[in-house]
Each structure stands twice: as C-alpha cells, then as structure tokens.
Structure 1
Amino acid sequence: MAEVASVPAGYRLLLPSDWLQIPLRQGTTAEIERAVAAEVFARAPGDVPRDKLTPLRLEVERRLRAVVADAHRTNALEIYLPVRLAGERNLGASIVVSEARLPSRSAADGPDVVVTDPVEVAARLLSKTPGTGVDLSSGEVDGALAVRRDQVMAADPGRGAEMDSRRVDYLVSVPGEPGLWFMAAFSTIGGGDPRDDLAEALVEWFDALMATFRWSWA
C-alpha cells in the first residue's frame, strides 16, 4: 500500500434506504431512542392501523434500548438498523461502528505495547488460535489493510442478546493514523439459527456492503 500523509475525515457506505443510521455521539441514550423512534414511525405507511403501530413501537423501542446501551458500553460511534413498517418481517440484524487502538504485543517486563504497524497487528490477529467456528482472513478495504472475523456468539440475555447470533467483524487500519483501527461489527440471528440460509445470505450482503466502503477526506 502507498504511504498516506493525511488522515480521513470519515467514511461512506452505500446502505439500502431501509437501513437507518443512529449516531451515538449526539445526545443521551434516551434522547437517541426518542429521535430514532420518531424517524422510524415517520416512515410508516399511512394505511397502517394505529393499533398495529403501538406494539411495533414498543418492540422497536425495546430493541433500540438494548442495542444502544450495548453500543455505549463499547464506545461505539454509530449503529445501523434495518427498518420495515409495512408488514414485512423485520430482520434481526445490526451494524455497530467503532474505532480502537489495538494492543498486540506484551512487553517482557511491562504492560502491553501498542503496535502501530498495521501489517504486524493483522499478522498477530491472524496468528491467534481461533475458537471453534471462528474464521479469520485478511485483505484490503479501500486500499487499507483489513482483517475479517466470522464467528457465532452465544446468547447473552444480560446484554439484550436472547439468542445465539452470527457476527462478522471488519477491522480496517485507518490511513495516516498508526495504531488506529476502524471496526464494523455485523450481527444477525438469521431465521433463528446463526448458520441458517438467511444468516448466510445476510453475511454475504454485509460482505458486499463492505465492498462499497470508502474513506472520505476533508
């Protein structure tokens, strides 16, 4: 990869119109939930009866509360959720975007040292022995080194995850910012089984989505 002197100002993804972006750095959790609920129900078709919207609103708010609270715990930057209010099945899926500096080398006589070389970080991630069913691979996303991780996560009711889920993470080195990594974490329950045909199709969709990822520059 060519050396990059400047740092990107952000990123772009070509998301379908029925996915909603939820920024997490603007307001409290309650304010975010209210703003998102208002946006979701502003999209409701005019012929949907109010008595059908009420339980749907409660379900959306429940899901939002769990997802936003979990994202705040991990210092996420934004969440993307699918929104359907026309009687179609709402996908149990989400994308959480965050950034992190990944310590990957333990000093012999001290704490972990942050490795700034993306190639070394990627090599160390890939060399770690994965757990059962974890798939690791590497490549590039818009010219930046990236590591892709695919695994099944066990249910965790304490964090709002009532069922096992399929999770695919993309860790992308940020150009011009040694040691900083962009992270996009896709999660889905599929049709109730994280390895079923729906889950596989959604993972393929997320991989295609990440192929549209582009850095944005000031």
Structure 2
Amino acid sequence: MLPDQTESSAPETPATGYRILLPSEWAQVPLRHGTEDAVRRILDEAYARIPADAPRDRIGPYKRELERRFRASVAEAQQSKALDLYLPVKPMGDFTVGASILVSESVVPRRPGQREAAAEPTDVAVQLLSRDGVEDADLSSGEIDGALAVRREHVADAAPGKGAELASRRVEYILSVPGDPDRWFVAALSTVGGGDPRDELAEALVEWFDAVMANFRWSRA
C-alpha cells in the first residue's frame, strides 16, 4: 500500500539517480555501461562457490549452463532498453529465489504548446502502465520520497515461446522523476514464487519488494 500523497509548495530538486537497498544476496547488473564486467564478476563469484569435491565431469557443463541462463536473462533485459537488472545470485537460506527486479525509465514527450498541467500525473502514469494491455491488475497511487508513485500488481501467464515457462507475479512501481515532469522511473519485480505465483513465497516477496520501495530514495545533486 502506498503512502498518501501530500502537497508541498517547495520547488523540486532535480533527481540525478536513485538508491535502492537490497540484501547482499542480490547483485546489480548495469545494462548500459559496465555490463560485461558485472556479468563476469558475478559468474566468477558463482563458480567460486562450487564445492571443491564436486565431480570434475559435471563442473564444466554446470558452468556453461549457468552462464548461458545468466547471459540470456541479461540480454533479454537489455532488449527492453532498461537501466539496471537486479538478481538474487546467492542462496537465501536453503534455496535460491526465482525473482528479478528490472529498473527502467519512460519518457512522455510533450506536444508543442502543451501546458505542464494539461494532464494529471496520475493519469499519465496509468497510461504508461496500460501500454502493454495488462488487464485485471490491482492499481494504487501515493507518494515515495516526494514523487508521485503508481503501483500495479498482476499475474502474467506463462509464455514458453518467450522463454517464460512458468506464470509469474509482477509488481511495478512507476514514479514521476522530480524536476523532470516528462520522465518516469519504473521498478518492476517479477517472481515465480515456489512454482506458483500466488503461493506463500510469492506473497512474501511481494511484501518484501513493497518494503524495498518504501525505502527508495532519489539521488540529488
């Protein structure tokens, strides 16, 4: 649930970036600069966790499959022209979480002569979220770190043809970027839970992501 919106007459300080706090089990993969360095570092750390007594004939195939899947996830994220991908790269407790967080941005070009207040920001945010034709989604709006935020939650069906073998739970936050009314920041969680996007693990991850976004902060000059 998002906090209520509050009115403020103070001028907005333009945002230059963002800060998101995640557990140490999660790693960031920048998708525009430094991608290969991050991918290589994460893979090297994963290889270092392979037990020393693991069968030698299985280590090679395991490494190749791990790299193939990891690079495929990164490549898919890059195709969406996103900013950053966050993945759980270490087990959390006794299991590895099937989830990801994708950070991207959207720009709504203003038509020549269009006034800044021509459209309500909440309407613009909902319009952006509606571009993909998702129906039966739960929507709510509020404010995060001084910015308008709209939250959407829904379950996406499995799409084997697109590499999505299981249905997934999606939670997206779209925030108006302070000082730049045409730009919108998007943070989206996707999880298959324990194999069912409506199971207890999926519910717990949704609650966790809501807490993460409640502590989201802009970086300002």
After superposition, the C-alpha distances for 1:77-111 in whole angstroms (9 at most, x for unaligned) are: 111111225983111100000111147x9x9xxxx
Q: Deviations over 1:9-39 (max 9, x none)?
A: 21111211111111111256x6653343124
Residues 118 and 179, structure 1, Cα contact 8 Å, conserved in 2: no
| Equivalences, count | 208
Partner residue, 1:122:
122
Q: Which deviations, in whole Å up to 9, do the C-alpha atoms of 1:99-144 show, x marking residues without a partner?
A: 11147x9x9xxxxx9995597242255487x855411110111110
Change (3 A) 1:59 1:89: farther
Distance verdict in 2 for CA 1:49–1:205, change over 3 Å: farther
Alignment of 1:188-207 (within 5 A): 188-207=191-210
User: Does the CA contact (< 8 Å) of 1:115 and 1:179 recur in 2?
Assistant: no
Output the CA distance in 2 between the equivalents of 1:56 and 1:66. 15
Alignment of 1:41-80 (within 5 A): 41-42=47-48, 44=49, 49-51=53-55, 57-80=63-86
For structure 1, which segment, 13-22 or 62-71, has the greater mean C-alpha deviation from structure 2 after superposition?
Answer: 62-71
**Partner Cα distance (2:20, 2:204) in 1:** 19
The code of the aligned residue for 1:148 comes to: R
Listed as ranges, the gaps of 5+ residues in structure 2 are: 1-6
Give distance in 2, aligned partners of 1:135 and 1:192.
Answer: 22
The aligned counterpart of 1:16 is 23
RMSD after superposition: 3.2
| 1:87–1:120 distance in 2 versus 1, CA, 3 Å | closer
Tell me the SS of whatever aligns to 1:185: strand
Deviations 1:48-100 (A, max 9, x none): 54447656544532332232122111111111111225983111100000111
- Tell me which residue corresponds to 2:147: 144
Q: Distance in 2 between matches of 1:162 and 1:116?
A: 43
SS at match of 1:68: helix
Classify 1:198/1:86 alpha carbon distance in 2 versus 1 (closer, same or farther; 3 Å).
closer
The TM-score with structure 2 as length reference comes to: 0.79
1:25 is matched with which residue: 27, 32, 37? Answer: 32
Alpha-carbon contact 2:121-2:148 (below 8 Å) kept: no
Q: CA deviation at 1:170?
A: 0.3
Q: Among residues 150, 162, 169, which one is paired with 1:159 in the alignment?
A: 162
Separation in 2, partners of 1:86, 1:93: 12
TM-score w.r.t. the length of structure 1 is: 0.80
Aligned 8 A contact 1:168 1:185 in 2: yes
Alignment partners' CA distance in 1, 2:114 and 2:27: 34
Find the aligned partners of 1:32 and 1:49 in 2 and give their Cα distance: 27
Deviation at 1:4, TM superposition (A): 3.6
Structure 1 residues 77 and 19: CA distance shift in structure 2, 3 A? same
* Structure 1 moving runs of 4+ over 4 Å: 52-56, 113-119, 124-128
Give the % identical residues: 51
